Structure 1
Amino acid sequence: MDNKRIKTIAYWVTTILGPASFVIGGFLFTTHGVQQAEQLSHLGYPPYMLTVLGIWKLLGVIAIVIPRFPRLKEWAYAGFFFDLTGAAASHIFSGDGLAVAAQPLVFLALVIASWALRPPGRKLVSAG
């Protein structure tokens, strides 16, 4: 197998396990899943944040998976970065400990790998 093919496979694997996995979370947040509602309440967030975060997660997945729109993809990756680092920080600040706070950071590693491995057609070309 050549390097380009390996990189493409690695991109799709990390994208499915990382950013695309937000479909599940987005659905559970928008439908106000019991566990998600309890978790956000524990972290001190109001219930309406389930809807806001859920919609953003679903829109982010769409932005990353559809072809073209590289600037939109950059924003989606940035959104996932803020979502996941915010989740980790929220767990730390609420006293959940490092083991719980590390869980979103595992997904963050997959999101960063997906971003780093994305093919040229999915990258924003700088004007310079």
Structure 2
Amino acid sequence: MKSQKIIYWISTGLFAVWMLANAKAYLTSEEAKRLCVHFGFPDYFRVELAIAKILGTAALLLPVVRNNPKEWAYAGFFITVVSGFIAHLASGDSLISSSFALLALALLLTSYFTYHRLNQ
């Protein structure tokens, strides 16, 4: 059980840092703005994604009485990460540069499954 907790917190922590860094970049970085243009996203969507990533990260990290906020956060992040992978590929990015989204997906799924093992 202790190893499951360690795996859960490492995967969740790494994913949370990744999403918060991504959210910060979406709000402050010119390169992130250019990337969203490259994907064909409107500028307001970049801001919405940043806010959603901050709120979702909070839902993953903060203790909650009911699991619903965590489940919604996991679902939202799953959609976001898979959509990011598709956006990279659809906009002509290489499979190598697109695969970072798959790494994020692996962290997310590890966090999700270990969370459920710990809370059975």
Scaled by the length of structure 1, the TM-score of the pair is 0.86
Q: What is the CA deviation profile of residues 55-103 of structure 1, one whole-angstrom value per residue up to 9, with x for unaligned ones?
A: 0000000001111231110110111111110010011111112112111
Report % sequence identity.
Answer: 30
User: d(CA) in 2 for partners of 1:89 and 1:74?
Assistant: 23
Q: 1:45 aligns with which of 32, 41, 47?
A: 41
Q: Which amino acid aligns with 2:60?
A: I
Aligned to 2:57: 61
Q: Higher helix share goes to which structure?
A: 2
Kindly report structure 1 stretches of 4+ aligned residues shifted beyond 2 Å.
none
Q: 2:92 aligns with which of 71, 95, 109?
A: 95
Scaled by the length of structure 2, the TM-score of the pair is 0.91
Q: CA deviation at 1:8?
A: 0.3
Q: 2:9 aligns with which of 6, 12, 23?
A: 12
Unpaired runs of at least 5, structure 2: none
**Root mean square deviation, CA, Å:** 1.3
Aligned residue pairs, count: 117
Question: Which protein has the larger Cα radius of gyration, Structure 1 or Structure 2?
Answer: 1
Q: Which amino acid aligns with 1:42?
A: H
